Amino acid sequence: MNHSSAPVAHASRGAITDVAGIEVGHHTDQRRPTGCTVVIARDGAVAGVDVRGAAPGTRETDLLDPSNLVQQVHAILLAGGSAFGLEAATGAVRWLEEQGIGLDVGVGRIPLVPSAVLFDLTVGNMQIRPDAAAGYAACAAASRNPPPQGNVGAGAGAVVGKMFGLANAMKAGIGSASVRVGGVTVGALIACNAVGDVISPDNAQPLAGARTDDGRGLRDTQRSLLAGVAPRPLLAGVNTTIGVIATDAAITKVQAHRLAVVGHDGLARSINPVHTMSDGDTLFALGTGLAGEGPGMLVLAAMAAEAVARATEQAVLSARSITLDNGIVLPGLADWSPAHP
């Protein structure tokens, strides 16, 4: 399989690491496009989650319910590999424990690492998937620097536009963005593996997704479906966009949940169709509180939706083309134009 692992940086739109108290690390498996990504809050962060897709793969999301006891988590783990990839969270927990990070339970500390996975098993050898060693390596690589984007980490095997078959799809990846109002920042990190197209948040025109049969242009999945073009049969859960929203505003657990909910508005502005029966779209929200009081939930919600939309856009703008072992070429926008597939 021929694939480029070189990340493409788009720092002009910011990154989730602009949020005080947030670190990001990737591990990319060079044997095939897959990997995992960790978002670390060493001092803990108030957290929420919203699962909107119909086929999610998650771990430890129940503790984020606002009515449940635990108020803070220490990391969020995103991974490829479908359900197998949830094992990567075990490695993240081990690394965090070694660093003395976690919930103090008297006899030790328990790191809390809610996780979500996306399906990339059709991109290369499915026997290769993120494991505990991958999660550990992602944590060891974490920093406050703007994270690499594109074909790395949880976005390494991400593909978009699969409604009419993998051969007509395009490569996607992982992207990040941030928005700042006053002294408060909201950032997002999105691994986009949607069955639908990624569209421009500015004008709703398709950027990457299902291509025409000759491979030279974009089909526009939504228009095709409404025109009566039949989609290919899809298994539930073989897609999914997952991500993390973070802010340094002081928020409650209830407010963190609300930010995760409204973050899906950003997905709806950048993916079409979104939240399908074949997607397991899941967004987490973190609040480190290091900037103090924020501008209020109305503004924070608008910032969260904007950051998610921009990060999703970056996930395809940064993606590079790959060629699968069966000869299928999945073009990425970083090195493809519609006239030259």
Is residue 6 domain-resident?
yes
Is residue 111 domain-resident?
yes
Q: Of 148, 134, 124, 183, nearest to 326 (Cα)? A: 124
Is residue 197 domain-resident?
yes
Relative orientation angle of helices 297-317 and 253-270, to the nearest 10 degrees: 40
Check whether 6 has a pLDDT greater than 80.
no
* Residue appearing with tokens 């976005």: 155
CB neighbours of residue 337 within 10 Å: 9
Give the CATH number of the domain where residue 284 resides: 3.60.70.12
DSSP string, 3-27: E-------GGG--GGGSTT-EEEEE
How far is the C-alpha of 5 from the C-alpha of 320, rounded, in Å?
Answer: 8
Check whether 11 has a pLDDT greater than 60.
no
Q: Are 241 and 194 in contact (CB under 8 A)?
A: yes
Q: Which residues pair with 187 in a beta bridge?
A: 178, 246
Omega within 30 of 0 (cis) for the link into 273: yes
Average pLDDT, stretch 48-55?
Answer: 87
Structure tokens of 295?
């501008």
pLDDT for res 12: 43
SS3 labels along 237-254: CCCCEEEEEEEEECCCHH
* Minimum mean pLDDT range among 139-148, 167-176, 273-282: 273-282
Is residue 36 domain-resident?
yes
Structure tokens of 265?
């508005």
How far is the C-alpha of 123 from the C-alpha of 125, rounded, in Å?
Answer: 7
How far is the C-alpha of 98 from the C-alpha of 91, rounded, in Å?
Answer: 11
Q: What is the mean pLDDT of the chain?
A: 92
Pairing of strands 241-249, 282-292: parallel
Is residue 235 domain-resident?
yes
Structural domain boundaries, residue 31: 2-332
Q: Which residues pair with 39 in a beta bridge?
A: 24, 76
Check whether 99 has a pLDDT greater than 90.
yes
Total domain count, the chain: 1
Q: Are 44 and 158 in contact (CB under 8 A)?
A: no
**For the CA atoms of the chain, what is the radius of gyration?**
18
Tell me the per-residue pLDDT of 201-243, one tens digit each, with 9 for 90 and over. 999 999 999 999 888 899 999 999 999 998 887 766 678 999 9
Would you place residue 276 in the very low, low, confident or very high pLDDT band (cuts 50, 70, 90)?
Answer: confident
How far is the C-alpha of 118 from the C-alpha of 282, rounded, in Å?
Answer: 10
DSSP string, 27-88: EEETTTTEEEEEEEEEEEEEEEEEE-SSS--EES-GGGSTTSS--EEEEEEEESSGGGGGGH
Is residue 138 domain-resident?
yes
Average pLDDT, stretch 272-281?
Answer: 88
pLDDT for res 235: 67
Is residue 313 domain-resident?
yes
* Minimum mean pLDDT range among 91-105, 172-186, 246-260, 275-289: 275-289
